[in-house]
């Protein structure tokens, strides 16, 4: 086949293990998945009813402009609908921006380790990936600014950063944007924004108002619990929104996705409750692991990154050992961080199950199929 892309050179996203596969493989009665940063509860109240109400309309195409959702988002953030782009998850929006901005001879600057899609965007278009190492597990904005050249067309900052959970304040972001040339698009990927407890969590919206070259991407996949419907959005200048709309396919967001996201946005009291619960449970998980001698990085997201050194198994084997016991966590090796585990914040019961399995590892207990 005459593919124009060298597929062997494209970084492929590899998801974590799914619960059913782990259950069958190890013959387990209970499996808890804390590997994909999903919110552990169903969508907020009202979403189910809103979805059921439109099922008889599935024989019709959805609104290609996602008008109602864009208007709802514009009202929520105090922007114009012309400043809102909607996509099949925020991933689609990032891929579309890569399609419009990246090519051979062009560079993109982003931190590492961070979300794997950024590297794939470069690979797909033959662009140069200028990956900037984190400093003390945090995005190094000074080094990223220094990495920008006259060939740079795109800068991406994941905030809070995945997989570390560390957060860059809005004032530092503002200083960074001021250093970047105005013809370079700065994308702030805020998939986990609603979990952030810092007072400046919404201040990046002001950067969108002030700078045509700033785009903030967010999603309904996390705190809203709609990852199965794939709805994301970008807050951006009209110029960027027009570019996305030109590049995207028509009807890119399903009818059910549009309706569910629009309804979910109306329930901000419940979202605030979810944020508070995540903050409490995150602290509970960190403290529980610390009591077993495992240190975690400070996180502003719905996951933590934990150093697995100190158990009775080598740190690089700890994630596999937990999975074999039914506690699925994301192996840090997937991000270039062997010996670490990225652990999603589950329910209190799910966290208790995980901690039980970590206690077992600390005591030297291993699943029979692991040997040892």
In percent, how much of the chain has pLDDT > 90?
Answer: 89
Each residue's pLDDT tens digit, 249-306? 999 999 999 999 999 999 999 999 999 999 999 999 999 999 999 999 999 999 999 9
pLDDT in tens, 8-54: 767 666 766 778 888 888 899 999 999 999 999 999 889 999 999 99
Going by pLDDT thresholds of 50, 70 and 90, the confidence category of residue 364 is confident
Determine the pLDDT at residue 105: 97
Q: Please state which architecture CATH assigns to domain 7-42+269-367.
A: Alpha-Beta Complex (3.90)
- CA–CA distance, 368 with 365 (Å, rounded to integer): 9
7-42+269-367 shares its CATH topology with 47-266: no
pLDDT of res. 367:
53
* Alpha carbons 164 and 192: distance in angstroms, whole number: 12
Q: Where are the domains of the chain?
A: 7-42+269-367, 47-266
- 9 or 216: which leads in pLDDT: 216
pLDDT value at 370 more than 50? no
CA torsion sign, 9 to 10 to 13 to 17? negative
Q: Does residue 235 have a pLDDT over 50?
A: yes
Q: What is the pLDDT of residues 110-127, one digit of tens each?
A: 999 999 999 999 999 999
pLDDT of residue 25: 87
Instruction: Report the top-level CATH class of 47-266.
Output: alpha beta
- Concatenated DSSP letters of 165-200: -----HHHHHHHHHHS-TTSEEEEE-TTGGG--STT
Q: From CA 155, how far away is CA 358, in angstroms rounded? A: 38
């Amino acid at each position: 086949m005459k593919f124009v892309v060298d597929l062997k050179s494209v970084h492929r996203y590899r998801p974590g293990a799914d619960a059913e596969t782990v259950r069958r493989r190890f013959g387990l009665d209970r499996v808890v998945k804390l590997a994909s940063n999903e919110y552990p509860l169903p969508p907020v109240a009202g979403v189910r009813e809103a979805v059921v109400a439109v099922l008889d309309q599935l024989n019709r195409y959805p609104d290609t402009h996602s008008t109602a959702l864009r208007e709802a988002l514009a009202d929520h953030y105090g922007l114009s609908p012309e400043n809102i782009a909607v996509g099949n998850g925020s991933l689609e929006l990032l891929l579309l921006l890569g399609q419009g901005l990246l090519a051979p001879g062009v560079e993109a600057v982003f931190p590492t380790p961070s979300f794997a899609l950024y590297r794939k965007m470069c690979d797909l278009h033959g662009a140069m990936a200028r990956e900037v190492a984190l400093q003390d597990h945090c995005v190094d904005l000074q080094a990223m600014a220094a990495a920008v050249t006259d060939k740079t067309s795109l800068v991406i900052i994941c905030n809070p950063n995945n997989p570390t959970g560390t957060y860059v304040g809005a004032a530092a972001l503002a200083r960074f944007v001021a250093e970047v040339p105005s013809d370079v698009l700065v994308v702030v990927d805020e998939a986990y924004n609603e979990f952030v407890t810092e007072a400046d969590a919404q201040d990046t919206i002001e950067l969108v108002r002030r700078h045509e070259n700033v785009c903030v991407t967010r999603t309904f996949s996390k705190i809203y619990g709609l990852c199965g419907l794939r709805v994301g959005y970008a807050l951006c200048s009209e110029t960027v929104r027009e570019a996305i709309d030109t590049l995207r396919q028509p009807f890119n967001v399903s009818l059910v996705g549009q309706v569910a996201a629009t309804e979910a946005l109306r329930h901000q009291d419940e979202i605030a409750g979810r944020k508070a619960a995540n903050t409490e449970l995150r602290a509970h998980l960190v403290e529980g692991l610390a009591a077993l001698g495992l240190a975690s990085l400070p996180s502003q997201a719905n996951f933590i990154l934990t150093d697995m050194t100190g158990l009775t198994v080598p740190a690089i084997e700890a994630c596999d050992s937990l999975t074999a016991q039914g506690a699925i966590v994301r192996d840090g090796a997937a991000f270039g961080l062997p010996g670490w585990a990225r652990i999603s914040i589950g329910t209190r019961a799910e966290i208790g199950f995980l901690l039980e399995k970590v206690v077992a590892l600390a005591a030297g207990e291993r699943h029979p199929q692991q040997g040892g």
